[in-house]
Amino acid sequence: MAIVEVKVPQLSESVAEATLLQWKKKVGDSVTVDEILIDVETDKVVLEVPAPSAGVIVEIVQADGSTVAADQLIARIDTEGVAGAVVAPVTLAMAAVSAAAAAAAPAAAVPAGTAKAGVAMPAAAKLMADNQLAAGSVAGTGKDGRVTKGDVLAAVAAPKVVAAVPAPAKAAAPLLPQVAAPASNLAAQLAGRPEQRVPMSRLRARVAERLIQSQSTNAILTTFNEINMAPVMDMRKRMQERFEKEHGVKLGFMSFFVKAAVHALKKFPVLNASVDGTDIVYHGYFDIGIAVGSPRGLVVPILRDADQMSFADIEKKIAEFGQKARDGKLGMEEMTGGTFSISNGGTFGSMMSTPIINPPQSAILGVHATKDRAMVENGQVVVRPMNYFAMSYDHRIIDGREAVLGLVAMKEALEDPARLLFDI
């Protein structure tokens, strides 16, 4: 038997620990070299852990949801093993957690297809022990009747429901919907006033921490202006087909917003600055953070040297960021730094908001939905596609004059896009 250890990859210097998400393989499964075994979540990114060698998993040392550090042992692979053979218990460490976990560990080592109903998966076994649930008291909905973490969470929440209405026939009640659900299913999921307690992901906890830090340390003020988007929309309509054919990507509005922001930051450098103690740090580069929603929460990847990027470069990079965010593949280096941020709530239909500064930056632009509105021009009421822009800024170093004029510069650039070509 030749054993190879699987360890947690190196983390960022600012990250001390991470959380194991969900094993993609179980004990007894064969793996190929570089096959992804599990994802590791830090407070910034999700890292993939590949198999260092081909073979068979003989031990999983750390179960789903475990807190781990860099280089910590999490599994072992037998490079000479045979898939499906009965191997060692899933994890020796979990045997000491509780009697329920100890009973579940050997069963998890049984090859696929031979597990008995009621066997708890490692994460589920630990959760049962934490909530003092006896082995066999939770019905499983997983493969071969195995008890999953979701089954245990449902069982823990079940007593709250029983107090109000009779227990449903299905032992494992569905979890509360985290995203929009069809109306036909929603009523069933919400029947009986259920509750569900779910721990924050590391990313969401970190975002919460930074937002509170921003509000407690910055003197945040927001200024607004209205933008006539007709010139940009007309230009985009004229160039869309040729642009997409030439560059292989659609011409969106975000590239215009980024260009307009850089245009304003060049005119008013303090908007691109940051505070370090009692010093103001002026940055001679323009790294623009683009707020992106993802299944894990809000992430802000950075467009490096945005002033040197073309419209096509910006659109391609934003599309890449969006895909990586959805797949949880954004790297730590892609979300580090930044001198100014843009948050486009308009993609979700937002009319107006007051964005929170992303520290250590000193300003952020909030873009909203473009809607036809009645406007007065030369004494006449006309309909124009208008967008409300909001710029929040740190009043400790940015005065109202710079903030207002900076936003006006963005307005003028978007209402006359030729300014972006000539930098005027």
pLDDT value at position 266?
A: 96
Pure H helices in 298-382: 311-327
**pLDDT tens digits along 208-245:** 888 888 888 899 999 999 999 999 999 999 999 999 99
Angstrom distances, CA of residue 35 to CA of 63, 64, 365: 18, 18, 41
Residue 108 has pLDDT above 50, yes or no: no
Q: 2-16, 32-46, 362-376: which has the highest mean pLDDT? A: 362-376
Pairs from 247-254 (Cβ < 8 Å, separation ≥ 24): 247/312, 247/315, 247/316, 248/316, 249/312, 249/315, 249/316, 249/319, 250/315, 251/311, 251/315, 252/315, 252/318, 253/229, 253/367, 254/290, 254/314, 254/315, 254/318, 254/342, 254/344
Angstrom distances, CA of residue 225 to CA of 235, 268, 371, 424: 22, 17, 14, 20
pLDDT value at position 183?
A: 59
Evaluate if pTM is beyond 0.75: no
Residue 159 has pLDDT above 60, yes or no: no
Q: How far apart are CA 224 and CA 156, in angstroms?
A: 47
Q: How far apart are CA 415 and CA 301, in angstroms?
A: 27
Residue 188 has pLDDT above 80, yes or no: no
Segments making up each domain of the chain, as ranges: 3-190, 202-422
Residues 6+ apart with CB under 8 A from 61: 73, 74, 75, 76, 91, 92, 93
Q: How far apart are CA 374 and CA 321, in angstroms?
A: 36
135-139, 262-266, 344-348, range with the lowest pLDDT: 135-139
Catalytically annotated residue among 144, 247, 307, 395? 395
Catalytically annotated residue among 71, 234, 305, 399? 399
Active site residue 395: yes
Tell me the pLDDT of the chain averaged across its residues.
81
pLDDT value at position 80?
A: 80
Choose which CATH entry (1.10.3720.10, 2.40.50.100, 3.90.1010.10, 3.30.70.20) describes domain 3-190: 2.40.50.100
pLDDT value at position 299?
A: 84
Active site residue 368: no
Q: How far apart are CA 225 and CA 259, in angstroms?
A: 17
Question: Under CATH, which number does the domain 202-422 receive?
Answer: 3.30.559.10
